[in-house]
Amino acid sequence: MSDKALKDGPMHYCPGCGHTMAHKLVCDVIDGLGVRERTIGIAPVGCAVLAYDYWNFDVTEAPHGRCPAVATAIKRLLPDRVVFTYQGDGDLAAIGTSEIIHTANRGENITTVFVNNGVYGMTGGQLAPTTMLGQKTATTIKGRDVRRDGYPLKIAELIALLPGTRYVERVSIHTKAGVERAAEALRTAFKVQMDGRGFSLVEIVAVCPTYGARSVKEAYDRVENEIIKFYPLGILKDEGL
């Protein structure tokens, strides 16, 4: 078996899906830090439910939204391990809102990788907490409306307010420069945990070409021209680095 964190093989994700690059970046960072053999990932319910098929390290599954609770238990029992959750916006920002807030607020020494693609991709492209205003989905066929659906939820800003968090950054992977910055943010977040500093989160603004646009190009153009204007990129919290 390969000693690399990312297995060599095809993935099930749709063409242009942000999860493919996010998987690679996480694995590149794990390899670069030399911690593959003591890393434990927590896979979500959602499009990345089969993430363990692509990762060459220990991974456990969690009920929908409960990744932070599972990660907390593992890290407390095995404090020498590098433990991270990998979650989409439906898993983290909807059914898992309470778990991520209380985990971060307690300052649990884990890392969360939050992939925000703006829809429920696995179940048919329904409205998610992060869906943009005006965005059409399977359950907002005329676009998200504030009066009916409320505002998109800015998870990174919310988590950054909590006293238990040490590092929070939002990145995007729609450009080469964005990919490079995302790798650096993930590396920093893992280092925060390895140094025992507390909770860290990296939000990755990604795309869902299948439900978020009519083509991969249109999806990536939306990130540049619309999405990152509402979800601005950058470090939202950096303590003790």
Eight-state DSSP code of residue 38:
G
94-106, pLDDT tens digit by residue? Answer: 999 999 999 999 9
Specify the pLDDT at position 234. 98
Q: Which residue has the higher pLDDT, 137 or 74?
A: 74
Which amino acid belongs to residue 140? Answer: T
- Model pTM greater than 0.85? yes
Which amino acid belongs to residue 38? Answer: R
Task: Check whether 35 has a pLDDT greater than 80.
Answer: yes
Specify the pLDDT at position 1. 53
Eight-state DSSP code of residue 12:
-
DSSP states of 112-166:
EEEEE-SEETTTTSEE-TTPPTT--BTTBTT---HHHH-PPP-HHHHHHTSTTEE
Specify the pLDDT at position 122. 80
Eight-state DSSP code of residue 36:
G
Q: How far is CA 4 from CA 86, 100, 195, 215, in A?
A: 18, 29, 23, 32
State the Cα torsion 88-94-100-101 to the nearest 10°: 140
44-99, pLDDT tens digit by residue? Answer: 999 999 999 999 999 999 999 999 999 999 999 999 999 999 999 989 999 999 99
Q: What's the whole-number average pLDDT of the chain?
A: 94
Containing 61, the helix (H) or strand (E) segment is: strand 58-61
Question: Tokens 């407390």 identify what position?
Answer: 76
CATH number of the structural domain 18-238: 3.40.50.970
Q: How many CB atoms lie within 10 A of CB 106?
A: 15
Confidence band (pLDDT; 50, 70, 90) for 241? low
Nearest to 82 by CA among 21, 148, 16, 34: 34
